């Protein structure tokens, strides 16, 4: 497939619409705090005028795991930030709140009715990498390498404060040991604890190995995504593999998975925040690839994440155009290009009982 290096990044809107005081009516104050007892009222908890923190960030800073769980179940955005730019993950890591951090790194689904009595069991399992069933979940995972003031990650602040269990937890969920802040300092540079230093040094070596490129510029994650090896994909992501890297032809791991029709892999990458609008050679996005090859399940996942079916590539062709050209009427139905009735008319006009897919318009990769 021909690709180029032009990349268009669309970042998800991390603003939680519940931040305004008027929106707090959707929360039951007595229910939210009856188990934690850490706050006397919702006003104290969510007073935007005091420090402009969101409820989730403030709960994380207090180590209030119960409140964090309930807020996430009610739709709190996992990536929301306070007025200084810190996320809930930053705050839990900085203050050494291991259980709260574990919850944030494996958040419950919005609307989940999981009893709070199961909180401990759920938290005890969060250090494990995502398993296959997690690929079906829609709840976004936090950007574990998100930067706050001074471009510091959660790993920076946890290491600096000497919270070994939080450092270990972050590394087990994909925190990048070599990430540098605005002063070009890594977590290792800021760490005074010998045990934490060993953890960071060992993980940095592992991440260098999994990030190595072959002649085509592909990493292990590219190859696992192309093969649809979901177990390996989960393992690599948990070890900190960079899912944003493009190979020599402009492919990202998400392009690879979308092209080959691996819906579970696409789901795993999207949960981590993979860029569904990344452009490769010819300006193709992952949705172009999925539509051209008739991968309707992948198309649905990309559309749900926010991909644009009317975004033209360098030749002016949209994903919808590619699906129509290839005769993928099921894909057209999925993206709204035609209705189910229109698809039947399309088949009848073509004089056939069922549309025969044309050869794929997707270009072949060059090694």
More confident residue, 239 or 355: 239
29, 58 in Cβ contact below 8 A?
A: no
* CA pair distance 175, 272, nearest whole angstrom: 12
At residue 326 the predicted structure's pLDDT band, cuts being 50, 70 and 90, is very high
At residue 28 the predicted structure's pLDDT band, cuts being 50, 70 and 90, is very low
pLDDT digits (tens, 9 = 90+) for 239-255: 999 999 999 999 999 99
181, 147 in Cβ contact below 8 A?
A: yes
**What does the pLDDT average to over 311-340?**
86
Residues in the chain: 367
Would you call 289 exposed, middle or buried from its count of C-beta atoms within 10 A (0-12, 13-18, 19+)? buried
pLDDT at 92 over 90: yes
**What does the pLDDT average to over 176-193?**
95
- Helix then strand then coil, in percent of the chain rounded to 5, is 50, 0, 50
pLDDT at 187 over 90: yes
Q: Which two tokens stand for residue 24?
A: 């707090």
pLDDT at 163 over 60: yes
More confident residue, 42 or 61: 61
Q: Quick one: which of 187, 188, 243 has its CA closest to 218?
A: 243
- Chain centroid, CA 233 distance in Å: 13
Domains along the chain? Answer: 14-115 (1.25.40.20), 144-210 (1.25.40.20), 220-349 (1.25.40.20)
pLDDT at 315 over 70: yes
Q: How many CB atoms lie within 10 A of CB 31?
A: 9
pLDDT at 34 over 50: no
Q: What is the pLDDT of residue 154?
A: 97
The pLDDT > 70 percentage for the chain reads: 69
Q: Which two tokens stand for residue 50?
A: 């005091």
């Amino acid at each position: 497939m021909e690709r180029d290096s032009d990349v268009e990044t669309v970042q998800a809107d991390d603003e939680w619409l519940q931040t305004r005081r008027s929106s707090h009516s959707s929360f039951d104050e007595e229910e939210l705090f009856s188990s934690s007892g850490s706050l006397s009222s919702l006003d104290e908890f969510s007073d935007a005028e005091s420090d402009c923190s969101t409820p989730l960030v403030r709960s994380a800073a207090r180590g209030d795991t119960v409140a964090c769980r309930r807020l996430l179940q009610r739709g709190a955005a996992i990536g929301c930030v306070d007025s200084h730019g810190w996320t809930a993950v930053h705050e839990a890591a900085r203050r050494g709140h291991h259980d709260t951090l574990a919850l944030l790194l494996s958040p419950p689904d919005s609307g989940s009715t999981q009893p709070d009595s199961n909180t401990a069991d759920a938290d005890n399992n969060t250090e494990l990498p995502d398993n296959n069933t997690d690929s079906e979940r829609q709840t976004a995972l936090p950007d574990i390498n998100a930067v706050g003031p001074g471009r510091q990650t959660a790993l920076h602040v946890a290491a600096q404060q000497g919270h070994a269990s939080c450092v270990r937890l972050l590394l087990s969920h994909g925190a990048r040991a070599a990430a540098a802040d605005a002063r070009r300092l890594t977590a290792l540079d800021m760490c005074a604890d010998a045990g934490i230093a060993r953890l960071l040094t060992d993980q940095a070596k592992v991440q260098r190995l999994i990030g190595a490129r072959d002649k085509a510029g592909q990493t292990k994650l590219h190859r696992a995504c192309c093969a649809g090896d979901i177990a390996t994909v989960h393992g690599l992501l948990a070890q900190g593999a960079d899912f944003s890297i493009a190979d020599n032809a402009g492919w990202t791991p998400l392009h690879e998975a979308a092209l080959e029709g691996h819906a579970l892999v696409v789901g795993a990458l999207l949960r981590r925040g993979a860029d569904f609008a990344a452009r490769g050679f010819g300006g193709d996005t992952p949705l172009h690839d999925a539509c051209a090859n008739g991968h309707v399940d992948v198309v649905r996942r990309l559309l749900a994440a926010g991909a644009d079916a009317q975004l033209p590539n360098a030749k002016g062709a949209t994903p919808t155009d590619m699906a129509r050209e290839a005769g993928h009427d099921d894909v057209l139905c999925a993206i709204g290009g035609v209705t189910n009735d229109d698809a039947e008319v399309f088949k009848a006009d073509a004089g056939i009982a069922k549309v025969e897919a044309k050869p794929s318009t997707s270009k072949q990769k060059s090694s």
